[in-house]
Amino acid sequence: MLSDHSDIESLRQANETFYEAFGSLDIDKMDAICEISGRALCIHPGWRPLSGWDQIRVSWQGIFENASLMHFNIQYLAIDTDGDCGWVTCVENITSVLQGRANNFGVIATNVFCRSDSGWKLVVHHASPNI
């Protein structure tokens, strides 16, 4: 199935909404863009994989509590859809202040989204250091 142009654009917007939630360190915004389900899966760079929304949510809360600034400049490598599923691979160019220390670093992420009645929801977030 070929991707519909409007699907690609709505998926790009969903991916940007995810990074807005991440950058605003706001767990309520993260709740809104993520799929709240047992199949949700998250791999933060260098972490062991987290399965199911409950432990993923705890990880976001921990990251947000330790960060005072998180700014994303997203470089898209791939963005595509197939029916009600879509995926984005992107480089996250990050400026952060974590535990009082400023950092600039890059992360490569593959984000898998599924469409729900309220739009695209992030199901899988696989992030790894951009070496």
Contact residues for a copy of itself (CB under 8 A)? 1, 39, 41, 43, 45-47, 49, 51, 77-78, 80, 82-85, 87, 89, 91, 108, 110, 112, 114, 123-124, 126, 128-129, 131
Identify whether the C-beta of residue 111 lies closer than 8 Å to the C-beta of residue 21. no
Closer to a copy of itself by CB, 45 or 119: give it. 45
User: Measured from the CB of residue 39, what is the shortest distance to a copy of itself in angstroms?
Assistant: 5
**Euclidean distance between CA atoms 50 and 33, whole angstroms:** 17
Closer to a copy of itself by CB, 42 or 70: give it. 42
In eight-state DSSP terms, residue 2 is P
Amino acid at 121: K
Element (H, E) at 67: strand 67-82
Q: Which residue has the tokens 């706001």?
A: 26
Closer to a copy of itself by CB, 64 or 87: give it. 87
